[in-house]
Structures are given as C-alpha cells and as structure tokens.
Amino acid sequence: MSANVAAIVMAAGQGTRMKSGKAKVLHAVCEEPMVSYPVRLAQALGAAPVVLVVGHQAEAVEAEVTRRFPDGVAFALQAEQKGTGHAVMMGLGALPDFEGRIFILSGDVPLLTRGTLERLAASVGDADPLALVSFLLDDPTGYGRLIRDGEGRLARIVEHKDASEAERAVQEVNAGIYYVDAAFLRSALARLGNDNAQGEYYLTDIVGIALADGHTVRSVLADPQEVAGANDRAQLADLDRAMRRRVNAALMATGVTLVDPERTYIGSQVQIGRDTVVEPNVYLRGQTAIGADCIVDTGCVLSDATIGDGVHIKPYTVIEDATVHREAIIGPFSRLRPKAEIMEHAHVGNFVELKNAQLGPGAKANHLAYIGDASVGPKANVGAGTITCNYDGYGKYRTNIGAGVFVGSNATLVAPLTIGDNAYVAAGSTITDEVMPDDVAFGRARQVVKQGRATALREKAKAEAEAAKKAKGKVG
C-alpha cells in the first residue's frame, strides 16, 4: 500500500428510517456505536488522518468519537446534506495539503473487514485514480448499479432513481466504499453536478469522470453481508447479530468457552484469556480485559474492567472501570465502581459496593458494605453492614484500614479516619477518631440489662392495648 493514506468516513446523514432522535451512526452494534468500526478499521490500515464527515447531530457524534479515539480523527462539518459527493467535498476540506490515497467509507457499514480494504487497495494500478467495492444482490432495489461496457469494463454507476428499466435489472451494485487518489478526487469533485433525480451531488459520478479522463476504474467484489448498511432497526439487529457471531467465534477460536454464544454480548475490543468460561447473559463492554482460567457467571455486566487470571466472578456482578487481581472472588451481586481495585485472593461478597477503594490481598468484605475512598490492608476483614462515611455533602474523605484489621458488623467509619494494623472495631460502632495498631475500639452505648423486667413490660403493653379497645367501643 502506498505510504500516504488517509480516510474519509461519511457520517452526516440523518438515517430517517431509523425513526430515532439519535444519529444513526451512534446506534450500537455489539456494544459499540456503529461509527467506531470504520474509524478503527481505517486507523488499522494506517490512514492518517481519519476525517469524519458529521452533520446530523454533529456535536454528539464528534463527542462520542473523540472519547473513543482521542487521537488521529479530524472532523469536517457538512451542515446541509447535499449528497455523498458533497459530503466528501467537505471531508477533503480537512485534508487541504494531503497527497496520496484516500479510503472513502460509510459510517453505517460496521462489518467491513480489513481483508476487503486490502484487496481494494491492491487492485489499484499506479496510474489508476480509483477503485471501488461492489457486491451482488438478488434484489438490488435502492442501490447504485454498476454499468459495464461490452468488454465488461466499468463505465459508470447509475443510482436506482435515475436508472432505466434495463439498468435496474443489473444485480451488481455499489457498496459505497472507495480508494481514490487525492489529487484526482479534488479535481473530479470540482466537476460534479447535481442534475439528477435527487438533486444531489453524487459521489458515484466520479467513476464516469475518471473514464472520461481516459482512466480505468476497477472494482472488487465483496460478501454482501460484509458491506451491508443499517438503514432501519431490523437491519441494525441483523448487523448486531452478525458482528456478535464474528466476535464470539474469534474468542472461541483462541480457547475461550462461551456456554451459549448467541446469548453472550461481548464488544469487539474485549480481550479474554484461555480457558476462561463465560456463562450466558453476560455483557462485556469497552476495553474490558479478562485473564485466563476465570469464570464469569451469568448476568454479569463488565465495562472497561481489568480482571487477572483465575478470578471467579459470581452471578449478577456489575463492574465498571475497576481492576480485580488474580484469584480473587467477586459476587454474587457485587458492585465495583470506578477505581475499585481488588487485590489477589481477596473476596467481595453479596451487596458490597466499592468505589475508588483498594481491598488488600486476601482481605474480605463478604456482605452488605459500602467501601468508598478507602484502602483496606492485607487480610483485613470488613464485617457485614460496614459503611465508610466518605462524604459530608461537600468534600470526600479517605478511610485507611490497616493490615489484619477486624471491622465488626454494622460499623460506621466516619472519614477521614485511620485504623492501625491488627486493630479491632467492635460491632455496631460509630468510629470517628483514629484507632492505633493492636487497639480495640468501641463506639457504641454500653448494654444495660434489667433483670426480669420483660414480664412487667408485657403486662403493661397488654393493659394499654385493652384500654384503648374499650375506649374505641364506647365512642362507636
């Protein structure tokens, strides 16, 4: 492939048939907005920059793409959608001095593969200004048709709405994917008109222009499913399913067990190690990376999670932007929020929430706890119902719990607070002051026992209830 490659991804259209308040390219395929796929593909092929042509909901699209691709993507605004030729013209505006080849891709064609684009690039002779991708359809309605001359050479592309009866019978259609020389593209776009059925500037007219300039335009055939776009929700669901099959097949090929791949929802950027087992109805999103020999049980939702080897994540655990080290046990029903870090061999049990907190090696928080803005030392035990009170309505404060500490059930730890190594906190305590190593801290009222008073209390309660009943009877 030539050294200088850029890409223009068209993503300005509204996608009317989606019937959506959201731009079409932001609808998700396999846990990721559709537009991510062509952008990543272009980058993988060395395209720099990748220019995204935005229009409909430009700000939202730009924000989402910038978040996912902080580098290498430029944006060009097509304020009014006057056709694909006009879209690319706007895109070229972001490449004023670029010389070389440009991939032109569509924001709504997520299944396109690297292999097809490599074949496309390889099909272009040094002197050819462009090549494009075509495919065959039994029912080509709606697509641009590839019209060939008597020798089978591509002569031009005619859009469905402009085609004659004979042309409409042609089953080879344009996929809308091109590889074009930048200088030719500039010159050809300057010559586009909009005298056609839709009154639009058709990018497809550059084929006729290349021929008129005496060039040859080649096409490469692609698998129809790979170049399919999402125009409505039903097609979106089809693409989603196809992408899921592709992602899941690739994971299984590397030694991951997916118990029911049709019901396991994994993003294309997720990594999973060998012999890890993923049960059904699990969602793995974003940049999640899971080690080898793990179990991710049913109903778990992991986003941008980093999980070490041999971790067992029990059912219905939710993890977001958090790290779990090797051989820890999490769940069922645990929640790890951003910047939670669970060290090796630690245990987090049901209804335990951690946020911006580290649970040390071998430490345990097995039931009903909130640990926020805290660190828990190695082998410490956080009892059921323990709460770190990290927030006073204005600021956030830290709780540091040392190694080997035993925090009794239902302790309320008011931050900022330090509890020294091997200290004990009595159950039911509210702790506001530092506890030194090896100390025992009580923070609760001392128990009082009144011997035999239960009987008297019962008699009194009974008498009061009967008196109340009588009084009510009189009134009634």
Which residues sit at the interface with ligand UD1, rule CB under 6 A?
10-13, 53, 55, 78, 81-84, 86-87, 106-108, 143-144, 157, 159, 173-176, 202-204, 229
Nearer to ligand UD1, 229 or 331 (CB): 229
Question: 367 catalytic, yes or no?
Answer: yes
Nearer to ligand UD1, 86 or 355 (CB): 86
Nearer to ligand UD1, 7 or 87 (CB): 87
Burial class (CB in 10 A: 0-12, 13-18, 19+), 228: buried
Contacts of residue 469, defined as CB under 8 A and 6 or more positions apart, other chains included, come to none
Residue 51 CB, shortest distance to ligand UD1, in Å, is: 12
Given 3-state DSSP classes, what are the helix, strand and coil percentages for the chain, each rounded to the nearest 5?
25, 30, 45
Bridge partners of 367, per DSSP, are 350
Residue 169 CB, shortest distance to ligand UD1, in Å, is: 16
- Which residue's C-beta sits nearest to ligand UD1? 144
Q: Compute CA distances 78 → 93, 160, 265, whole Å.
A: 10, 24, 34
Given 160, 215, 312, 367, which residue is catalytic? 367
Are 368 and 383 a contacting pair, CB within 8 Å?
no
Nearest by Cα to 107 from 199, 189, 18:
18
Q: Compute CA distances 227 → 139, 223, 239, 242, 248, whole Å.
A: 15, 7, 10, 12, 20
Are 405 and 399 a contacting pair, CB within 8 Å?
no
Nearer to ligand UD1, 105 or 300 (CB): 105
CA dist., res. 102 & res. 42, Å (int): 10
- Beta-carbon count within 10 A of 21 CB: 6
- Give, rounded to a whole angstrom, the gap between the first and last alpha carbons of the chain: 97
Residue 31 CB, shortest distance to ligand UD1, in Å, is: 21
Residue 164 CB, shortest distance to ligand UD1, in Å, is: 16
Residue 127 CB, shortest distance to ligand UD1, in Å, is: 24
Nearer to ligand UD1, 201 or 406 (CB): 201
Q: Which residues are catalytic?
A: 367
